[in-house]
Chain A
Amino acid sequence: MTRETLGSIAPRPAPMTAAEIVAPLRRVKPLLTWGAILAVFALTIGETRAEALLNVSYDPTRELYREVNEAFTEYWTAQGNPAPQIEASHGGSGAQARSVVEGLNAQVVTLALASDIDRIAEAGKLPKDWQGRLPHNSSPYTSTIVFLVREGNPKGIKDWGDLVAEGVQVITPNPKTSGGARWNYLAAWAWAERNGQDPKDFVGKLFKNVPVLDSGARGATTTFSQRGIGDVLLAWENEAYLALKELGEDQFDIVVPSVSVLAEPPVAIVEANIANDEQRKLAEGYLNFLYSPQGQALAFKNYYRAWDSSAAAPEDVARFPKVELVDISHFGGWSRVQPEHFGDGGIFDQIYVPK
């Protein structure tokens, strides 16, 4: 990236007395101060150049996009394009979507839930039919929800039904503030439906066993792994594998339940924030790269279930066990699930405050 330097240092003339040096400085100083303030403003208030791209993403994709951005930059310059400047921002999916609605100049969003991108579309920043524009519901990779338990699985947790047992402590983030936690909740709901239990009653019992509701997925992982709270963590599959890798395989085990959800974290171009054709080309190239064999291989490597395994390392693909996966359309789509389950006074709220 190039930034103008603030003036250059001229060769020094004959030595001056202190007074001589100070006198002109007095006049220059305010100018310098104002100049510096203006320069800081110019640098910080995002004036985007053509070849820059801001990818606003959710929490657990940090590692994935670090690698994707590096690989994409290499690929893009190899195609004969000037080196792009790709930046990524990570945070809770909902908060990230809100920043974009409120004017964060993101050209690309890669969030946890389609409903979060819908929200940006409602603000008029991208067309309402965005999800049909890229393959697989605009989700280049998917994930599911699995259990992370302590080494040796001392509480013998095998499936969702074991989570409501007396004395089992379950760690999950708050579905109200975390996209991942909504998938946790829906997976439990789907299991209950399939096993002849009242789903509402079941998730109620499940959340009664939750001692800490962190605001995001990373926070919950920390609470479980570092603070030693809880017997089982409901986590993104990629987050669970990452925890194993980062914190030692001898501390935790992954348990895959009989039923889980097919979480499709979608990606989209924020049309309103595209400055020119050059930038559009870059943004489209970036998203298409996610679908390329190379991009898909990176997703596999970062423990996401991607679609095209042609370029992926076999062991990255082989590690995913088969699970019965239920997708969001089973629940009637996000536009129905969001208000019914997670809205103000919705089914989730009724667990704590019965209607």
Chain B
Amino acid sequence: MMRRPFVQQSPMPGFGLAMGITMTMLSVVVLLPIGALLLKGADFGLANIWATVNRERVWKALWLSFRLSFMAALFNLVFGVLLAWVLARYRFPGRRLLDAAVDLPFALPTAVAGIALTALYAPNGVFGSVLADAGVKVAYTRWGILVALVFVGLPFVTRTVQPVIEEIDREVEEASATLGASRLHTLRHVILPMLTPAALTGFALALARAVGEYGSVIFIAGNIPLVTEIAPLLIVIQLEEYNYDAAAAIGIAMLLISFAMLLAINLIQIWSRRRIGYV
């Protein structure tokens, strides 16, 4: 009996070239930097990494970064889907303009976004002064960080969900209605399951983006240790002290936590696909 070859020839031409380019790109753009980070950590030693990370200030910063990123991604999940729904389903004047505006957080340099948001939400800013009268402070508090993270993560959910909504056949909803389902029932049991995988992907992207965000947050956060100090700032502080090892250690900690979170999201996605099948 012939053994199955390790590499199966694909009937599609161009596999070798495409694969070569893919591997090269991935290595240069993704694997090399991460490899360098891990190598730096390996030099430093596991015990030292743990000693660097296992400090109140670092844990507080990590907890702040990941908790706020999660909240921002959750916010974007709900309102991003809503936004995608409005853009895909309704026709109204200015829709294309609004559609284009969704991508602005991608295009705007994050420092510009941070400064603009700070100017708006500072106690003497347009929103900030109104909020200050109500006794709410946004800029230079955790709320400010959340606002910045929501801003930078917004396009991810909308842009992943929008094409899926556009693909949904109206007949499916009509069939559901003719079979006697209420609107809420149709939404809950027909529409949402179809959107879940894409929405989860968008959520994961928004989350990943928020965790690593530095440029915009730094302007609005206040950066007080233990209170509004985000983990990426701690890394910059370590670099400022020429403490490359400690910076790499915190970087590795963030990488591991991010990896675990993304893995969990992927598992949920697989589970939801199994449950409802592919859309």
Residue numbers of A with Cβ under 8 A of B are 92, 94-95, 98, 101, 119, 174, 176-177, 210-215, 219, 226-229, 342-344, 349, 352-353
**Does B140 lie within 8 Å of A212, measured CB to CB?**
yes
Write the B102-122 contact mask toward A (1 if CB under 8 angstroms, else 0). Answer: 000000000000000011001
- Does B42 belong to the interface (CB within 8 Å)? no
Measured CB to CB, the closest approach of chain B to A94, in angstroms, equals 4
Q: Which residues of the other chain, B, contact A94 by a CB distance below 8 angstroms?
A: 240-241
Q: Give chain A's interface secondary structure class.
A: loop
Q: Which residues of the other chain, B, contact A119 by a CB distance below 8 angstroms?
A: 242
Q: Which residues of the other chain, A, contact B219 by a CB distance below 8 angstroms?
A: 219
Measured CB to CB, the closest approach of chain B to A159, in angstroms, equals 25
Measured CB to CB, the closest approach of chain B to A123, in angstroms, equals 10
**A211 and B237 in contact (CB under 8 A), knowing A227-B118, A227-B124?**
no
Since A227-B124, A352-B226, A353-B55 are in contact, a sample of 14 more A-B pairs with Cβ atoms closer than 8 Å, ordered by chain A residue number, is A94-B241, A95-B239, A95-B240, A98-B239, A174-B223, A174-B237, A176-B237, A177-B236, A177-B237, A213-B223, A215-B236, A227-B118, A342-B241, A344-B243
- Does B167 belong to the interface (CB within 8 Å)? no
**Does B119 lie within 8 Å of A227, measured CB to CB?**
yes
**A353 and B225 in contact (CB under 8 A), knowing A119-B242, A229-B123, A344-B243?**
yes
**Does A228 lie within 8 Å of B225, measured CB to CB?**
no
How far does the alpha carbon of A92 sit from the alpha carbon of B218 in the complex, in Å? 14
Within the complex, which residue of A98, A174, A211 is in contact with B242, where a contact is CB–CB below 8 Å?
Answer: A98
How far does the alpha carbon of A101 sit from the alpha carbon of B224 in the complex, in Å? 29
- Does B57 belong to the interface (CB within 8 Å)? yes
Closest Cβ neighbor of B56 among chain A residues = A353
How far does the alpha carbon of A119 sit from the alpha carbon of B239 in the complex, in Å? 13
**Does A212 lie within 8 Å of B225, measured CB to CB?**
no
**A343 and B224 in contact (CB under 8 A), knowing A227-B122, A353-B56?**
no
Q: Which residues of the other chain, B, contact A177 by a CB distance below 8 angstroms?
A: 236-237, 240
How far does the alpha carbon of A238 sit from the alpha carbon of B123 in the complex, in Å? 27
Q: Which residues of the other chain, B, contact A95 by a CB distance below 8 angstroms?
A: 239-240
How far does the alpha carbon of A174 sit from the alpha carbon of B218 in the complex, in Å? 12
Q: Which residues of the other chain, A, contact B224 by a CB distance below 8 angstroms?
A: 210-213, 352
Within the complex, which residue of A227, A344, A352 is in contact with B123, where a contact is CB–CB below 8 Å?
Answer: A227
Write the B239-265 contact mask toward A (1 if CB under 8 angstroms, else 0). Answer: 111110010000000000000000000
How far does the alpha carbon of A135 sit from the alpha carbon of B56 in the complex, in Å? 45
How far does the alpha carbon of A342 sit from the alpha carbon of B223 in the complex, in Å? 16
**Does B122 lie within 8 Å of A176, measured CB to CB?**
no
Within the complex, which residue of A176, A210, A214, A227 is in contact with B240, where a contact is CB–CB below 8 Å?
Answer: A176
**Does B240 lie within 8 Å of A211, measured CB to CB?**
no
Measured CB to CB, the closest approach of chain A to B257, in angstroms, equals 21
Closest Cβ neighbor of A119 among chain B residues = B242
**A344 and B246 in contact (CB under 8 A), knowing A211-B222, A215-B236, A229-B140?**
yes
Measured CB to CB, the closest approach of chain A to B57, in angstroms, equals 5
Within the complex, which residue of B55, B119, B223 is in contact with A212, where a contact is CB–CB below 8 Å?
Answer: B223
The A-B contact count (CB < 8 A) is 68
**Does A349 lie within 8 Å of B241, measured CB to CB?**
no
How far does the alpha carbon of A219 sit from the alpha carbon of B222 in the complex, in Å? 11
**A213 and B222 in contact (CB under 8 A), knowing A94-B240, A177-B236, A226-B119?**
yes
Closest Cβ neighbor of A178 among chain B residues = B240
Q: Of residues B125, B139, B140, which shows the largest number of chain A Cβ atoms within 10 Å of its Cβ?
A: B140
Q: Which residues of the other chain, A, contact B56 by a CB distance below 8 angstroms?
A: 353
Q: Which residues of the other chain, A, contact B239 by a CB distance below 8 angstroms?
A: 95, 98
Closest Cβ neighbor of A210 among chain B residues = B224
- Which 4 interchain pairs have the tightest Cβ spacing? A227-B122, A352-B225, A228-B124, A213-B223
- Does B238 belong to the interface (CB within 8 Å)? yes
Measured CB to CB, the closest approach of chain B to A61, in angstroms, equals 19
> Can you show 24 pairs from A to B with CB atoms below 8 A apart?
A94-B240, A98-B239, A98-B242, A176-B237, A177-B237, A177-B240, A211-B140, A212-B140, A212-B222, A213-B225, A215-B223, A215-B233, A215-B236, A226-B119, A227-B119, A227-B122, A227-B124, A227-B139, A228-B124, A229-B122, A343-B241, A349-B57, A353-B55, A353-B56
**Does A344 lie within 8 Å of B241, measured CB to CB?**
yes
Measured CB to CB, the closest approach of chain B to A7, in angstroms, equals 30
**Does B57 lie within 8 Å of A353, measured CB to CB?**
yes
Q: Which residues of the other chain, A, contact B125 by a CB distance below 8 angstroms?
A: 227
Task: Give B197-249 interface residues, CB cut-off 8 Å to A.
Answer: 218-219, 222-226, 233, 236-243, 246
**Does B238 lie within 8 Å of A344, measured CB to CB?**
yes
Write the B49-62 contact mask toward A (1 if CB under 8 angstroms, else 0). Answer: 00000011100000
How far does the alpha carbon of A233 sit from the alpha carbon of B195 in the complex, in Å? 51
Measured CB to CB, the closest approach of chain A to B54, in angstroms, equals 13
How far does the alpha carbon of A226 sit from the alpha carbon of B118 in the complex, in Å? 10
Q: Of residues B238, B241, B246, which shows the largest number of chain A Cβ atoms within 10 Å of its Cβ?
A: B241
**Does A215 lie within 8 Å of B226, measured CB to CB?**
no
Q: Which residues of the other chain, B, contact A176 by a CB distance below 8 angstroms?
A: 237, 240-241
